Every structure is written in C-alpha cells, then in structure tokens.
Structure 1
Amino acid sequence: MREAGGVVPAPRAAPGEAAGRRFSYGPVVPVVATVLLLCVPPGPEGPGGSTPADLASGVLVVWCVLALLRRRRSTAAGPGRAVPSPLTPLAALVLGGPAVAFAVATVASHDPAASLPGFVRYLQLFVLVPGAVLLSLRDARDARLVSAAIVVLALAEGAVGVVQATTRTGASYMGQDIRAVGTFGALDVMGMATVVSYGLMIAFAFALAPPAGAHRRLRPCALVCAAVFVVPLALSYSRGAWIATVLACVLLLLLRGVRTAVAVLAALTAAGVVLVGGFGVGSAQLGERLHSITEVSDSPDQSVTDRYSLWSAAWDMWRQDPATGVGPKGFPAHRDAHAPLALSSGSDTAGAGVSFQREPLLSPHNMYLLVLSEQGLIGAVAFVGSWGVLLVCGLRRFGAARHGRTADCGLVAVGLLVWQVINFFYGDIGGPSTVLTALAAGLATWWALSPANGPAR
C-alpha cells in the first residue's frame, strides 16, 4: 500500500510479543517428548506391554482434548475471542471415518469383547494420535522441531544398531547375532529399521529443500546424515524397509526435478558400489537378503514361505466375512483354520539380550491384508481412503508450495507418508515403534489438512 509520501511500512510486533512467539513451543512439547521417549527400551514384558511412549501419547491426546475444550469456550465467549481450530470438516471426516469403521467391525466381530483391545489400539494409532498432532502443530517451526526430534531418535537408535552389528550383540540372523535392532530388542526387529528410515527420509528432504533462512551448511550436513543412516538401515536386514526407502527417496527426487533425480541417483549408485563392492560391507548377508526378495516359488527361505502363507490365510478370512471381517485382533484365532500346511509354527527369536524363544506368527505382515481380514471392506475402504486423501492433499499442497518457505515440511510429510504406505505391504502395526508411525501420520495430516498450510480440497 502506498501513500503520497511513499510506502507505508507493515506493522511490526512488539519485541516481547516476537520473542514470545519465537520461543513458545508449549503445544508441541508433548509431541517431541513422545518421540524421544521411544529411546527407552521396552520393559521385561516385551513389546506387547505399555511403553513410556505409549503413555506419553495418551498424555498428548488428553492435552489436545483440553485444548479443544478451551477453544470451544473461547468461541462461546464471543466472536472477538474465537480461536480458529485446525480440525476442519475435511479433517474430521478423514479422522472420523476410520473410527466409525473400526467400531462397526468391532461390534460385528465373532467375539466383540476380544476385539475391543484391537479397536482401542486402532483408534489410538490412526485417529487419536494423528488428530492430536494436527492440533498441536501450529506452523512450520513446530513441524521442523518434531522432524528434528525424529532425526535425533534415529541417530541414537542407528548408533546402537551399528554397535550391535559390529560387536555381534544384536538379534540373531542366519545363526549370528549381527542384526541391528537398536533399543527395541529382538522381539521388535522392525523397530530400528522404521526409525532409521524415518530419519533418512527427513534428512534427505531437508537436503533437497532446506528450510527458508537455514544456515548454508544445513544441506551438506543433511546429506551426510542421510548417508550415515544407510549403514544401520542396511544392517537391519529389513527387506520391506529397503524397498520403501528406495521408492520414497526416488519420489522425493522426482518432486524436486528430473535433473536433480538423475544426478543424485548416479551419485548414490556410485557410493553403493564403493561401499559394498569396494569395502565388502556385509556383502554376503546383504546379497542373500536382497536375492530373497525375488524368491516366490524358486526355493524360497522359510521366512518368505511364511509370509505368503500368512497372506493366503488373511485373504481366505476376508472371503469368509467380506463385509466386516473376523474382528480386530481376530487374525491369530482364525489363522490355523485358513493357513496352508507350509506355514511354520512360529519365528525363531534370539539375541540382543533375549534368550532363544519361538514367537507365534500373529499377523500377516501386511497392513492392508490385516485390515481386510479383520475388518472387511468397511474397515479397509475407510483406512485406505483416509490415507489416500492425505496423500492427494499433501501432494497438491506441495505442488503449490514447491518454491515457497514451507517446501521442506511438504517433502518431509509426503516422504514419510509414502514410505509408510509402501512399507505396509511388507509390515503392519505392532511393537513400541508403532507409536512413531502414528506420529508420522499426524505430521502428514497436519501438512495435508491444516488451514495454516492453505486451503485443502
């Protein structure tokens, strides 16, 4: 706006107000605390019990419920004191739809009482915690703080995993205690792989699109950090995490531009050849693990046989109850009635402080088949549909903010969501690390649906 004498300067906030805004991280503190508490190892009861991160996620949900009540009182006090809420009608639909579907599947299950704990778990991971993160993040600063906390967690877990692999104190793999599992232990072998993959995705996103006003050294530091995460990720021997990480990183590169994608992929290929071929870093075990990905009918190992046997059992369960499935937590009870004879009795677990034991196979290790078998088409359509809306809205917003000041947040959110969507083809919920999946879904929900990032369509 101009006057006769020139440009009228924009009003500036008072120094105290600006300082308060700069250092006020109150609402996001419970989110960061929940992330960092994942470093605490699970108790002696194993991954099935409540962990400090689970309890912190409960505190986070209560915190946000109280915040919603305060907003409602402020709105009732008068329009001048109304506080806008990020819980828009679209956000309420995306979060509320799966909640209704989970409830219907629980009521219609073969044993509603046995399915009730599963309903609570689904509600926690896919509705309450993501909604709480949506309400807690106010702007890009908060999102970057949560992303930084995930990177710190990944660095800590990755360091523990590398030490386990090099000192042979990790989980058992091919008769040797060399599998990196971090503080999650041998009973949650996917935990460290998930955390490290998240850290790699965030570091890679910051390298591709550094935050506005960031120090010029942030890009090389982020690249080095992403490269460091490759080592513990490889030593986790998690095939699903490898596939999801590669595909998600390629997508992020394409979102930044084709020429950038070609140059970075060439550099990564050369680095991989030097690391594995030149120095022989785990070449024998990694090569065999990579080869097992393509084994379907040509003499697959027992883990691959069990995986496809469990998928077949889940598919048969859905065909028996196509509308509502067998009910949340119902897969273990119906597994033997539908599984082929090739399925083994369990998975051998040892190492990382755990003595040898036989762990039962309680899920199909495919999130989509798990939801389909336990909750039928009602639950599967609601679950896949809600995440599909998040992905579409997130990509649309990134397209609008590609050259803006929040492009880094968009890349992080889209990268985490795409990684999890792909990884769900090879894994499902379970173990302490699942809380981090809910937090990542909340970060993606904030980017896709929060009014602070623009209109969501």
Structure 2
Amino acid sequence: MAGVGSPGAVADVKGAEAVTDVEGARAVWRRPSVLAAATVLLVCVPRERDDLTTASDVTPADVASVALVVTAAAALLASGRTLPGRAWITAPLVVGVTAATVASQDIVASLPGLARYLQVFVLVPLAVVAVLRDRVDLWLVGGAVCGTALIQGAVGSWQALTGNGASYAGESIRAVGTFGATGVMGMATVVGHGLIVALALGLALRGRRRAAALAGAALLAPPLVFSLSRGAWLAVGCAAAVMLVTYGLRTAARTGLFAAAACVLLVGAPALGLAGDGGPGPDTLGHRLTSIGSSVTEPDRSVSDRYGLWETAAGIWRDDPVTGAGPRSFPALRDSRAPLHLSSGSDTADPASGFQRQPLLSPHNMYLLVLSEQGLVGATAFCLFLGCVTVWCVRRARRTRSPWDRAAGLAASGFLAWQLVDFLYSDIGGPPTLVTSVMLGTALWWAAS
C-alpha cells in the first residue's frame, strides 16, 4: 500500500485531478449557455460578398440563435422551471409589434420584420435568461463577447494600418472588421461591447485578473478609434461614465480628467504637426472628433441625411400614430415622406467588394424606427423594456459587494447605457445585432436574478 508521500500516491492525486479537469470541461460543453457563446462568436464568419445587400439571408449566427431558443425551451419543459418574474417585461414588446403587424396595410410584407423583432428583443434574450445559471455561464458568454471583440479589433486594426479598410475621405483607412464597408458599424458595435465587459472586469477585480482585463480593454481601444465611428465613441464614453460613477465618484473624477486631457491633445494634434504615417492620422481623428460638436450647427452630409431620415420617420408616424405603419414599412414609405435634401443612398467602398451604393432603408434611430412602424403602442413598450431593465441593473449593481457580481453588474449597466445612447443614431441590422440580443438577455438575467 503506497504511503501518502510515495510516487504512487502522487500519481493517484494527479490522475484524480486530471479526471476532474476532464469532467469539468465536459460539464462546460454540456451547458446550454455554450449556444449563447456560439451565437456571439459566429458573427465573425464573413458573409458572402454577393449577399451583403440582402437583408433576409440567414447567417450562421442566426442558426445558432435558433438552436439556443429551441434548447432553452426544451430545458425549461424538461426541468419544470419557469422564467424569473421580471421576464414579464418582454410581454408588452410582443403586444406592440403584433398589433402593428395586424394593423399593417401589407401584413405579409411585415411578417419578416415581426419575426426579426421578436428574435432580437424577446426570444433570444429570454433564451439567454433560461440558460444562464451561475458564474461559469457568465464566463462563457462574457468570454465570447471579449473574444469576438478582439478578433474583430485585430482585423480592423490591420485594415486601418495597411490601407485595406473601408473608404474614408478617399483613403481605405476605416476599420470595419469582417463585416465590410456595407456593415460599417458592425466592428465598432462588437468592439464597444467587448471593451465594456473588459472595463467592468478591470474595475471590479484585483491583482493579475484586473491587469489582464485592463490590458484587454487597452487592446480594444485602438480599433474603436480606427472605426472612425463618432456614435460608437459617444456610446462607449457614456457607458464608461456610468460604470465609473456606479463604481465610485473619485475614480470617475480622476478618469474623467484624464479622458478630457487625451481629447484635448487629440484635437490639438493637427496644429502641432503630429500627423501619423500609417492608418488614420491625428488630423483625421481630430477632425472626426471635433465634427461631433458641429453636427448641430454645421452638419456634414451623413449627419444631414440622418436628420432627413428622422424627419421622414416622424412623418410616417403622424399618418398612423397608434399602431404605426407596420414592421419593415419604412423603406416603402420613405420616398413619399422624405425631404428634398435627402440623398438617395450612401456610398461605400472597400478593396474586397469595391464601390457600392447603399439605399437608406431605415431612419438610423431605433426609437423613431419603432415609433414610425409600431406607433405609440410599440414605442411605449420598447421604452418601458429598456428603461426597466436599466433601472433594475443599476440598482442591483450599486448594492452588490462581491467582486464577480459587481463585475457583472457594471458590465450590464454599462452595456445598457451604451445601447440607450447608440439607439439615438442607429438601429438593429446585420449579424452584430445578435451580439446585442445576447447582451440584452444577460442584462435581463442579471436584473431578474
């Protein structure tokens, strides 16, 4: 019989640890939350260039989201469990979009919009709520979000530094990741979500884990800058402010001063002659940053078109104020309500797909899109959903003291702040929307737990 310190005993202990590790790995892969992580990771699969303008094509991420919903439903039925009580907040969304579809002048044309809206804001979030159970599930989903952001950020940085990105001011320097010039906001959205998760971990954890999380956030900052997306910059800034204030006022004040100094240096870089040679130089970044302030008084062409689209959405809503025109009705009604100064489309170009003229198929404002297509009923349900989940998350994040719970609370609060701001000048569309959907489900789970 081997003694405690004998080689045989040591081998037995190591063998037991190896078996435990294998069983732990198998337990992870048996978790339904793996499908939520797969839905996030699969948005990195490039779409076929010939199908980039097709809004109805099914992506691998869509397939994974369907598998997630089916698996979550089967798990609930098999276990007899029910969703948390606060999951009721998704019911008004179903009522609003269904009423708008039934009242639509073309019900058949509105059905795809109904399905997409339910997928993004009801089915996938509720499925995520059903499959999340503990910290391991959060690690899987959060790790998938950060991993996707790092992949897209690496591709985007390479595009910006080598001149293989989307066209901006005649140069192919805009980082767009695997989404191409037709999905110009995709990389910025995914990178923004990953940066929020990494920053939340960096604020809540300690030691090496904090250093690793902050290093990840630092790696995601350059591709976010290279995206040249003013909206993404604003949204990330607001999300960071909410997380810092929730974490502590002193930390928020110190970080705010540092961020203000960095912005001043970036804006003043052109005057100091600090233009760079590779990728977007400080002159380009400084001009892009200062244009945020002049968007009201001296809007450029893209901002002017956006204002025109907002005016168009308001006109469509005034014709059907209660239930709206119906999902997916904005493109058909746009030309009859659009102001004369609105462009017929936006120009996009990148080395892979070349020059393309993209039609303006939405108002680029999620609140106005819901208002025009679902009326006051749908808009009220939409705002109630986002508002309640945000309040619940912030309240719980301020009360919790456990580092891991605090990280989850900060990430959920920051994401919702990001989304509330981002929806002011963008809407859902493309594969990155499913990342948003999974994040909404995670935030709802945190708020309802």
Q: TM-score, normalised by structure 1?
A: 0.87
- Find out whether 1:209 has 2:204 as its counterpart: yes
1:47-446 mapped onto 2 (5 Å cutoff) = 48=55, 49-72=57-80, 84-85=81-82, 87-91=83-87, 93-210=88-205, 216-270=207-261, 277=269, 280=275, 282-296=281-295, 298-403=297-402, 405-446=404-445
CA shift for structure 1 position 395: 1.3
Residue by residue over 1:383-425, the C-alpha shift from the partner in whole angstroms, topping out at 9 and shown as x without a partner, is 1101111111111211221455411111111111111111000
Letter in 2 for 1:88: P
- Find out whether 1:46 has 2:37 as its counterpart: no
Secondary structure of the residue aligned to 2:185 is: helix
- The 1:37/1:296 distance shift into structure 2, 3 A limit, reads closer
Contact 1:114/1:329 (CA < 8 Å) preserved in 2?
yes
Taking the aligned partners of 1:201 and 1:429, their CA distance within structure 2 comes to 19
Taking the aligned partners of 1:336 and 1:133, their CA distance within structure 2 comes to 39
Residue by residue over 1:414-437, the C-alpha shift from the partner in whole angstroms, topping out at 9 and shown as x without a partner, is 111111111000100111111111
CA shift for structure 1 position 96: 1.9
- The 1:17/1:356 distance shift into structure 2, 3 A limit, reads closer
Residue by residue over 1:59-112, the C-alpha shift from the partner in whole angstroms, topping out at 9 and shown as x without a partner, is 11111111121123xxxxxxxxxxx43x12321x21222012111110001211
Residue by residue over 1:248-269, the C-alpha shift from the partner in whole angstroms, topping out at 9 and shown as x without a partner, is 1011111111111122233444
Structure 2: runs of 5 or more not aligned: 1-16
Report the counterpart of residue 11 of structure 2 in structure 1. Answer: none
Contact 1:126/1:438 (CA < 8 Å) preserved in 2?
yes
Secondary structure of the residue aligned to 1:217 is: helix
Taking the aligned partners of 1:31 and 1:405, their CA distance within structure 2 comes to 20
Could you tell me the percent identity over the aligned residues? Answer: 50
Secondary structure of the residue aligned to 1:325 is: coil
CA shift for structure 1 position 17: 9.7
- The 1:400/1:310 distance shift into structure 2, 3 A limit, reads same
Taking the aligned partners of 1:251 and 1:224, their CA distance within structure 2 comes to 20
- The 1:106/1:355 distance shift into structure 2, 3 A limit, reads same
Taking the aligned partners of 2:105 and 2:398, their CA distance within structure 1 comes to 45
Letter in 2 for 1:394: C
CA shift for structure 1 position 172: 1.0
Secondary structure of the residue aligned to 2:348 is: strand
Q: In the comparison of the two structures, how many residue pairs are matched?
A: 420
Letter in 2 for 1:146: V
CA shift for structure 1 position 352: 4.4
Letter in 2 for 1:320: D
Contact 2:195/2:217 (CA < 8 Å) preserved in 1?
yes
Secondary structure of the residue aligned to 1:24 is: helix
Contact 2:242/2:413 (CA < 8 Å) preserved in 1?
no
Taking the aligned partners of 1:57 and 1:132, their CA distance within structure 2 comes to 9
Contact 2:172/2:350 (CA < 8 Å) preserved in 1?
yes
Residue by residue over 1:161-210, the C-alpha shift from the partner in whole angstroms, topping out at 9 and shown as x without a partner, is 01111111111111111110000111100000001101110111011002
Letter in 2 for 1:35: V
- Find out whether 1:36 has 2:41 as its counterpart: yes
Secondary structure of the residue aligned to 2:212 is: helix
CA shift for structure 1 position 296: 4.4
Taking the aligned partners of 2:208 and 2:260, their CA distance within structure 1 comes to 24
- The 1:146/1:297 distance shift into structure 2, 3 A limit, reads closer
- Find out whether 1:24 has 2:50 as its counterpart: no
C-alpha RMSD of the superposition: 2.2
Letter in 1 for 2:52: G
Structure 1: runs of 5 or more not aligned: 1-14, 73-83, 451-457
Secondary structure of the residue aligned to 2:167 is: strand
